[in-house]
Amino acid sequence: MNKTEERKLFQIIKEVLGVNVTEDLSMDTVPSWDSLRHIQLLAKIEQEFDIEIDFQDTLAMTSVKSIRNILSKYQSGK
Amino acid sequence: MIQVNQELLPSHQRIGRDFFIKHTSVYELFKSQANAYPQKCFIIFPEYNVRFSYEELDSKITEQALYLRQKRIVKGDRIGLVLPTSPDFIVLYFAAFREGITVVPINPDLSPPEIDYIVADAQVKAVFYNEPLSKKISDVRKNTGLSKVAFINTSDISITDPKEKAELPAVHYTDEALIIYTSGTTGKPKGAVLSHLNLLADSQVISEWFQFTPDTRALCILPLFHNNGQVITLLAPLSAGGSTVMVPPKTSLRLFWSITKEYNVNWTSVMPSILAIILSLKLKRKDSSMAGIICGGQVLNAEVRTQFENTFQVPIFEGYGLTETTSFACFNKFPKNKRKFGSVGRALPSNDVGIFDENDKEVAPGKEGEICIRGLNVMTKYFGLDEVNKKVLRGGWFHSGDYGYIDADGYICFKTRKDYLIKKGGENIYPSEIENVLFGHRAVDECAVIGVPNELLGQDIVAFVKLNSKCTEDILLEYLTNKLAHYKYPKRIIIIDELADLDDIPKGPTKKVLYKVLSEYYDRRLKTSI
């Protein structure tokens, strides 16, 4: 994932969760990251990056780090 | 079959007929199924890529039970589980039951002071948590009042080769199994003490009610620290020798039908708000296995039910119950053509439901009153609250504080929730919990918190505050940070001093806040502007 894409991802996370984004943020550390926000977040990522996140990846996307890593996988597979 | 000796039970747990259970403890139930179906898959955790057969899980449970013994946690002790839906939770849960240890499940989303309160109140001997919660737990540990409590990170548990013979301690069905904390009117949560009998009776009758079989595979999408997740989608399938798929509630809603298809799920249990969310996501049903959805915990909107059933062609079975009745105490009949819409169904075989007036006299069918329940699934008591117990368990009935009526056919119709309890996304929130914290801000003179309608969550929270000095909504919202669990944060804090047509929080002659008047004001003046 290049820097522009990373900035775009961080901007989406910031907009949806309403927090400043750092690498170590996760569902366990961000109180506002609840089930509804998670749905909104993944929907926005799918829309903005034009991808469809699969079953196992959805379950694993529980932190900024994991989202970035999984997204990179989709980017490289495009 | 074991005939329950009802002479051993408090009067509010007795019913005027025989009742039989198949096992004397929850672990004995598990062990019996493990003997009958050793290789059969019992539980799947897709998030962890873990699945256990009955036999495999039994082996883990035995190892963990020995670990508890090594830590000198024994029968009669209590452990707190501050854990998400995970293999750790399940193994510790059954290991504790095996040893006659009481489990106190604690919502990991609670704030450190809220966790601290439950740990102290339940007098737990040890608290188990996982690595992501270590920061929060270190804040809890700062309370010197908990210096005797062992805090154990599950990643530090080392299972030594079991030399000790893991003989089973005698656990009787009247023994304490669980304490589940539920919100209280005073703002402090109350611990509902549930026995092995409570869990066995409720899960057994629900399993029979919906004709669960060894082919039943449930989806547990509600959090495990709640009674609903534990009883309906874990213990009820277990009772029939079935299996369950455990998914984290936060990440799984958009995968609802994918998980159902992938794992061939045929039953699940949800709050009405989950049905509304699934509808709003415009998901497509992918499976052909789902036989029915059990629903309760909030009032199910008729429109949501109709839309959901029309869209997905899956029947929804509405019921009613509380933590204090283990899970559900009544259900609509199975199969689907026996349901009565607008009703929460009929009493389960393990309990009776009666409607009582303000003088504690049972009223005639069709007449409204307080919904009272007695039976083998009614909690033993609230932990350490003798005066409250005398009040709510008077006359041999548990007084729910909820209101409704029973129709001529014996179907129960629920009318209103007790007091002004806010039901947000299936979570019980009492206004006083939030008011108590808001009052702590020096600029707040008075405050009152109400539940307002929310399409997805059922209700959301709005606080009204009267100030004694300059302050803003943003400052007050910031003030609540880390003092309350996030789901208890108000959607809005309305400063009364800024409203042109409301001078004060409305109160009655005894200065009791008139929540109803405040709700009416909100509906009339503010609903459309928020």
Task: Tell me if chain A has a CB within 8 Å of the CB of B458.
Answer: no
CATH architecture assignment, domain B422-529: 2-Layer Sandwich (3.30)
Q: Which of B251, B254, B281 sits opposite A62 (nearest CB)?
A: B251
Test mutation, A40, A58, A59, chain B, max B CBs within 10 A: A59
Q: Residue B185: what pLDDT?
A: 44
The Cα B336–Cα B211 span in angstroms is 12
Task: Tell me if chain A has a CB within 8 Å of the CB of B272.
Answer: no
Residue of A nearest to B483 (CA): A31
Alpha helices in B104-226, H assignment, sequence order: 112-121, 134-141, 196-209
Task: Tell me if chain A has a CB within 8 Å of the CB of B287.
Answer: no
Residue of A nearest to B261 (CA): A55
pLDDT in tens, B284-297: 898 999 999 999 87
**Residues constituting chain B:** 530
Residue partners of B384: CB distance under 8 A and separation at least 6: B121, B191
Contact A28 B249 (CB under 8 A): no
Residues of chain B with pLDDT under 70: 160-166, 183-187, 416-419, 507-512, 528-530
Task: Tell me if chain B has a CB within 8 Å of the CB of A33.
Answer: yes
The answer to whether the CB of B441 falls within 8 A of the CB of B463 is no
Q: How far is CA B122 from the centre of its chain?
A: 17
Tokens for B189, please give them: 């949560």
Q: Residue A78: what pLDDT?
A: 60
Residue of B nearest to A62 (CA): B251
Q: Which residue has the tokens 């455990």?
A: B246
- ipTM of this model? 0.72
The Cα B12–Cα B375 span in angstroms is 6
Q: Residue A18: what pLDDT?
A: 83
Q: Which residue has the tokens 């589980």?
A: B81
- Domain ranges for chain B, please list them: 55-171, 422-529
pLDDT in tens, B313-326: 999 999 999 999 99
pLDDT in tens, B130-173: 998 999 999 999 877 888 999 999 999 987 666 666 678 999 99
Count of CB pairs separated by less than 8 Å, A with B: 54
Domain that holds residue A73: 52-78
SS3 B317: strand
Domain over B55-171 is classified CATH 3.40.50.980: yes
Task: Tell me if chain B has a CB within 8 Å of the CB of A35.
Answer: yes
The C-alpha of A46 sits at a distance from chain B's nearest C-alpha, in angstroms, of 13
Task: Tell me if chain A has a CB within 8 Å of the CB of B297.
Answer: no
Of A34 and B328, more confident: B328
CB < 8 Å to B109, chain A: 31
Task: Tell me if chain B has a CB within 8 Å of the CB of A42.
Answer: yes
Contact B251 A61 (CB under 8 A): yes
**Helix A35-49 to helix B272-280 angle, to the nearest 10 degrees?**
10
Task: Tell me if chain B has a CB within 8 Å of the CB of A62.
Answer: yes
The answer to whether the CB of B214 falls within 8 A of the CB of B40 is yes
Contact B253 A56 (CB under 8 A): no
Q: Is B436 exposed, middle or buried (0-12, 13-18, 19+ CB in 10 A)?
A: middle
SS3 B507: strand
Contact B47 A33 (CB under 8 A): no
pTM of the shown model: 0.84
| Cis, bond preceding B249 (omega within 30 deg of 0) | no
The C-alpha of A39 sits at a distance from chain B's nearest C-alpha, in angstroms, of 6
For residue A66, being part of any structural domain is answered with yes
For residue A45, being part of any structural domain is answered with no
For residue A64, being part of any structural domain is answered with yes
Spatial strand order in the sheet of B176-182:
B150-153, B126-129, B78-82, B102-105, B176-182, B190-195, B381-382
For residue A70, being part of any structural domain is answered with yes
Q: How many domains does chain A have?
A: 1
